[in-house]
């Protein structure tokens, strides 16, 4: 009897689903998309309703053959790709490749990879949603038209290898606009004034200047501050009012994708990778679970909807874990934003059986951290609000009013899930301190008063002034975007979709349009130039409102309110005109951008040119004069993150300057070409750059050629090599103390080495003459079972840290903490 074929995207997902199905089903993975538009040409016929010319992805040729072989005997094919537009499009391509007259194509939709969800999906199979596919096709074609039409223009006007994307360009503009706002920002001085006061009972407390004669007051300079201090001299300090109100703070809703990306303390790409692993399935061998199980629901969603079954399970968990007082009378329902695609639930645990601490031994630290975040947010969303008393004390001194606030927790409510007070949860939950609280309605924000522990005071009480403390402050510029705040900005402006945020951010960095310093994005000189060029010729493409409307048009295609061809025709009509005008009017930067700077060598004007590694300043008299310098303003930092002084060249004493090469920025001697000294710039913990230490020549001799060894700074840290490189390529490696089993007779030892990507492995010191390698660290200990020369260390989620025999035929294993003793 032929087996039904089930097709998913990934092997991990296939493994998890396979355990829920019987022998009548065969589950295979497509490894993602199997077809796409061609790389070498546009692949879209703009004159014939934007017909696409899809072709098989070269790297998927083998997979496609395996899929077709598996489909030969199948009468039913079930497409079980992810339940979103991208997954629907993958399913559509699979149906076109695998379908036939004798084969029926079914669509399986499930929000979580659990036995119940999979079995339920098989009871109600559907068909490929053509409208969802059309929406994804339209997005793909829009992106292709922008990318493949504007990018060649940039190659012609600026430099080959540049790119412009429909959503990527808008994101870049947001970063550059923020940077220019920072550059234009002029700090304004202001002063805060604090009074240290003591009442009839301890403790002392601070109050902040709030009003004068009933009106809000702003102290602009030190003279005004001193005048107020003079006014307050010998003024009586009287409590004018004491108001205590009960406040409530409600829990935030369960996570949607964008909120998870903003709240998790990982880069967006890593957050989505970890969530994908938790969704596709984790092995839980110690919990009586056979095979992997999905721990969370589908992680690409913008809906806060939760199934009734999950709500019941959450309420049962809350009642049994926290008690009835934490449980609302009815389940909590949250409203999704107006443009949310409500096909999927919010991100939540698939079962309350697997709490974070129970599954922690089977998760990596990062997986556990993200799972706990999702778990806590979901459980908290179904709990009663936290309540606290907020006391506001107003103190009058002459014409001036000072204010202090105190908060006393009354009932932990949902904050019990996190084990922290409401004020400490802003960062973990992604809320501002005032979000969802009754205090949100106050006319004053937290900056108008000092919060702290207050003594018991009553209206009319006279207070003793202990000290007056004026503090000078300056207004701050808007902050640069972090990954979290950039995602928030994209989401709030309706730009892109949560599933695309990671790739948008990645492209901006890969193209060297932005750099990340201290966790924040800063546009490069190249990024600023690209935005300036594009906004003059393609104002629509970089317009936030226009991009938002395009996203809404894609939603309308999915809803059946418009169609693929009409949407693309409307876009291309204007875009085609802009493209033609840009070809004629866009500035040609290959000729260089004029500056007011004069060459300090020959006196000719200096130009900004765009080179292979970005913009730089060069003499217009090239090739007669080869004077250049780095355009970027970034300078090396010291270890404390501050700008560091650049030491002069250690060989000739001339100044060193920052230049950019194939592997990024570096220091080069200004005496070039007579002096060719260079020094690397390495990343600091703060995200900046720091000059690497100069080479240190050692007294130790090279064992191969007899010349001195030298300590150098490489891409992956310090290393010791021969001074005669490249004639002698000896590198001194850290030894493990274990003799090489293949080359011991020639003095070979197993030493630490690093791959081209920086990953550590272990190999023979006589490489390349001996190619023995290990990925696990060897230990100089004879195997007590088979007598093998050494053991290896391995750490797995299932068994922890172990010592194993290097001999694959021997099954000796023990905990690394145990030490074998002779009988």
List, by residue number, the catalytic residues.
298
Cβ 58 vs Cβ 86: under 8 Å:
no
Of the candidates 375, 372, 385, the one whose C-alpha atom is nearest the C-alpha of residue 412 is: 385
Contact 698, 720 (CB under 8 A): yes
- Spacing of C-alpha 819 from chain mean position: 42
Residue 706 three-state SS: coil
The answer to whether the CB of 447 falls within 8 A of the CB of 160 is no
**What angle do helix axes 564-585 and 525-537 make, rounded to 10 degrees?**
110
- The H or E element that residue 467 is part of is strand 462-474
In sequence order, what are the beta bridge partners of 402? 209, 395
Only one residue has tokens 């913008």, namely 302
Cross-strand bridge partners of residue 198: 464
User: What is the secondary structure of 327-370 as a DSSP string?
Assistant: S-SS----PPPTT--TTSPPB-BS-TTS-HHHHGGGS-HHHHHH
Tokens encoding 51: 């017909």
User: Phi first, then psi: what are they for 24, rounded to 5°?
Assistant: -80, -5
Question: 753 with 762: CB under 8 angstroms?
Answer: yes
CA distances from 710 to 699, 731, 755 (A): 9, 10, 21
Dihedral sign computed on CA atoms, order 54, 57, 62, 64 = negative
CB 750 within 8 A of CB 739: yes
Query: Angle of helix 365-380 relative to helix 268-280, nearest 10 degrees?
Result: 80
DSSP labels for 35-80? EE--SSS--EETTTTTEE--EE-GGGHHHHHHHHHHHTT-SEEEE-
What is the SS3 assignment for 375? Answer: helix
Instruction: Identify whether the C-beta of residue 456 lies closer than 8 Å to the C-beta of residue 175.
Output: no
Q: Give the span between the Cα atoms of 69 and 754, in whole angstroms.
A: 41
Coil, strand, or helix at residue 800? strand
Angle at 645 (CA atoms; ends 713, 609), nearest 5 degrees: 80
d(CA 578, CA 534): 11
Place of tokens 């939709």: 109
Q: Torsions phi, psi of 749, nearest 5? A: -120, 155
- Whether residue 760 contacts residue 751, with contact meaning beta carbons closer than 8 Å, is answered with no
Helices (H) and strands (E) counted in the chain, each on its own, are 18, 40
Provide the token pair at 555. 């939603």
Q: Which residues of 781-807 are buried (b: 16+ CB within 10 A; e: fewer)?
A: bebeeeebbbbbebeeeeeeebbbbbb
Task: Indicate the DSSP class of residue 593.
Answer: E
Orientation angle between helical segments 85-98 and 130-157, nearest 10 degrees = 100
What's the burial of 775, exposed, middle or buried (CB within 10 Å: 0-12/13-18/19+)? exposed
Pairing of strands 696-701, 689-691: unpaired
């Amino acid at each position: 009897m032929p087996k039904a074929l089930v097709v998913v995207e990934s092997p991990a997902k296939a493994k998890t689903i396979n355990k829920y199905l019987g022998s009548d089903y065969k589950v295979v993975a497509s490894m993602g998309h199997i077809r796409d538009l061609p790389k070498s040409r546009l692949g879209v016929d703009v004159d014939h309703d934007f017909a696409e010319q899809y072709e098989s992805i070269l790297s998927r040729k083998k997979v496609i053959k395996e899929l077709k072989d598996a489909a030969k005997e199948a009468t039913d094919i079930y497409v079980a790709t992810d339940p979103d537009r991208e997954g629907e499009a993958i399913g559509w391509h699979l149906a076109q490749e695998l379908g036939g007259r004798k084969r029926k194509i079914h669509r399986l939709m499930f929000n979580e990879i659990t036995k119940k969800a999979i079995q339920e999906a098989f009871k109600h199979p559907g068909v490929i949603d053509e409208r969802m596919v059309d929406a994804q096709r339209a997005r793909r074609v829009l992106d292709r038209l922008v990318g493949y039409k504007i990018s060649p223009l940039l190659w012609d006007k600026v430099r080959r290898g540049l790119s412009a994307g429909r959503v990527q360009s808008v994101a870049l503009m947001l970063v550059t606009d923020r940077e220019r706002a920072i550059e234009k920002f002029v700090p304004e001085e202001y002063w805060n004034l604090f009074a240290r006061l003591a009442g009839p009972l301890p403790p002392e407390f601070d109050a902040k200047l709030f009003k004068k004669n009933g009106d809000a007051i702003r102290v602009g300079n030190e003279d005004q501050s001193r005048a107020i201090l003079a006014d307050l001299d010998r003024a009586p300090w009287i409590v004018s009012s004491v108001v205590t109100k009960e406040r409530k703070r409600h829990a935030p809703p369960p996570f949607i994708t964008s909120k998870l990306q903003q709240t998790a303390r990982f880069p967006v790409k890593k957050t989505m990778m970890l969530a994908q692993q938790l969704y596709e399935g984790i092995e839980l061998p110690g919990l009586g679970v056979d095979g992997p199980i999905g721990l969370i629901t589908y992680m690409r969603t913008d809906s806060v909807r939760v199934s009734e079954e999950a709500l019941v399970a959450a309420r049962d968990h809350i009642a049994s874990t926290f008690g009835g007082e934490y449980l609302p009378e009815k389940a909590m329902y949250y409203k999704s934003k107006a443009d949310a695609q409500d096909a999927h639930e919010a991100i939540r645990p698939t079962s309350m059986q697997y709490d974070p601490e129970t599954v922690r031994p089977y998760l990596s630290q990062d997986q556990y951290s993200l799972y706990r975040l999702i778990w806590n947010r979901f459980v908290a969303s179904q709990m009663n609000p936290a309540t606290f008393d907020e006391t506001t004390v107003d103190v009058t001194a002459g014409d001036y009013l000072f204010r202090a606030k105190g908060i006393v927790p009354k009932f932990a409510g949902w904050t019990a899930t996190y084990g922290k007070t409401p004020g400490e949860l802003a960062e973990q939950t992604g809320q501002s301190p005032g979000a969802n609280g009754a205090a949100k309605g106050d006319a004053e924000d937290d900056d108008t008063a000092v919060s702290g522990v207050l003594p018991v005071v009553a209206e009319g009480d006279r207070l003793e002034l202990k000290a007056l403390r004026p503090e000078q402050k300056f207004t701050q510029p808007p902050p640069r975007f972090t990954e979290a705040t950039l995602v928030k900005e994209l989401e709030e402006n309706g730009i892109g979709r949560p599933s695309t945020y990671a790739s948008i951010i990645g492209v901006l960095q890969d193209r060297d349009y932005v750099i990340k310093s201290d966790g924040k994005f800063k546009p490069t000189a190249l990024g600023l130039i690209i935005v300036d060029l594009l906004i003059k010729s393609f104002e629509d493409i970089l317009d936030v409102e226009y991009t938002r409307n395009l996203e809404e048009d894609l939603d309308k295609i999915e809803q059946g309110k418009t169609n693929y061809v009409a949407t693309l025709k409307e876009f291309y009509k204007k875009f085609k005109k802009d493209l033609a005008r840009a070809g004629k009017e866009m500035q040609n930067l290959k000729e260089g951008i004029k500056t007011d700077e004069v060459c300090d060598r020959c006196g000719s004007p200096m130009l900004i040119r765009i080179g292979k590694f970005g913009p730089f300043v060069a003499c217009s008299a090239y090739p007669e004069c080869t004077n250049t310098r780095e355009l970027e303003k970034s300078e090396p930092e010291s270890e404390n993150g501050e700008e560091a002084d650049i030491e002069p060249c250690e060989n000739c004493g001339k100044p060193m300057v920052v230049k950019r090469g194939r592997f990024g920025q570096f220091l080069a001697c200004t005496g070039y070409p007579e002096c060719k000294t260079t020094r690397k710039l390495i990343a600091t913990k703060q995200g900046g750059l720091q000059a690497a230490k100069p080479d240190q020549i050692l007294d130790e001799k090279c064992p191969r050629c007899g010349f001195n060894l030298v300590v150098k700074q490489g891409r992956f840290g310090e290393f010791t090599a021969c001074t005669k490189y490249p004639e002698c390529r000896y590198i001194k490696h850290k030894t493990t103390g274990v003799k090489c089993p293949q080359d011991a007779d020639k003095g070979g030892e197993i030493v630490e080495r690093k791959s081209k990507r920086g990953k550590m492995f272990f190999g023979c010191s006589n490489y390349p003459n001996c190619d023995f390698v290990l990925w696990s660290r060897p230990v100089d200990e004879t195997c007590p079972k088979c007598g093998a020369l050494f053991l290896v260390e391995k750490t797995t989620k299932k068994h922890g840290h172990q010592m194993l025999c290097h001999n694959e035929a021997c099954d000796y294993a023990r905990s690394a903490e145990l030490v074998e003793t002779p009988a």
